[in-house]
Structure 1
Amino acid sequence: MIIVTTPNIEGKTVKKYHGIVNGEGLIGANVYKDIFSGVRDVVGGRTSTYEEEIQKEREKALEAMKQKAIDLGANAILNVRINYSNLGGTMGNTILISVNGTAVSY
């Protein structure tokens, strides 16, 4: 499966468009992580716990999107976009990671 952020793949011609596919992931951050993260940000540290969780959830969302494309008979996903949204307040934030693209066959 080829997954790209571009609208086409050089040298290839789309034979069939299968439609839009998507995947999502949610990260629920607990109060202790939020407090620790805030302290590290103040002293200039990196919040590696969040970075790791975001990376894991992004990969899950991409995998879910890929599986939907495979189920449609596609062998590539074009024009992939990854979006991050904060769904919560200052304590107990929830981060939504959504990915989408166009499933195609070459």
Structure 2
Amino acid sequence: MLMLTSQTIDGKRISRYHGIVTGDALIGANIYKDIFSGVRDVVGGRTSAYERELARARELALSSMASAAERLGADAIIGVRLDYHNLGGTMGNTILVSTTGTAVSTEDEE
């Protein structure tokens, strides 16, 4: 599934707009991971555990959105937007990764 942040696709024309599609993924971090990440942040290290979890959540959200577009018969998604929301929590953070875009069908330009 082709996914773009732009509203157009070079070499293609949009033949049908199927509508808005979305995908979401939640990741939770426990208090121990939060504490150790905080220590690493203080001493200047990178928190690779969080980076891996964010990347995984982003891929899950994009995959979910692509599946929704495929169910509508689309072959591309334009205007893709990714948003990250910290939902908080008592034992750590919960982060929501949301994706939105417009599912479209395309044809080659002549």
TM-score normalised by L of structure 2: 0.93
1:11-42 Cα distance to aligned partner (Å, 9 max, x none): 21110000000000111110000000000000
In 1, Cα distance between equivalents of 2:27 and 2:60 = 11
How big is the alpha-carbon RMSD for the aligned residues of Structure 1 and Structure 2?
Answer: 1.1
* Equivalent residue pairs, number: 106
Which residue matches 2:83? Answer: 83
More divergent stretch after superposition (24-33 vs 90-99): 90-99
| SS of the residue 2:80 aligns to | strand
What secondary structure sits across from 1:60 in the alignment? helix
- In 1, the alpha carbon distance for the partners of 2:34 and 2:10 equals 44
Aligned to 2:96: 96
Unaligned runs of 5+ in 2: none
Q: Supply the distance in 1 between the matched residues of 2:35 and 2:91 (Cα, whole angstroms).
A: 8
Uncovered stretches (5+) of structure 1, i.e. residues with no partner: none
Residue 63 of structure 1, CA deviation: 0.4
Q: State the TM-score, normalizing by the size of structure 1.
A: 0.96
Letter in 2 for 1:58: R
**Identical aligned residues as a percent:** 63
Q: Superposed, which structure 2 residues align to 1:1-106 within 5 Å?
A: 1-88=1-88, 92-106=92-106
**What is the CA deviation profile of residues 29-61 of structure 1, one whole-angstrom value per residue up to 9, with x for unaligned ones?**
100000000000000000000000000011011
Question: Are the counterparts in 2 of residues 34 and 91 from structure 1 also a CA contact under 8 Å?
Answer: no
- Runs of 4+ off more than 6 Å: none
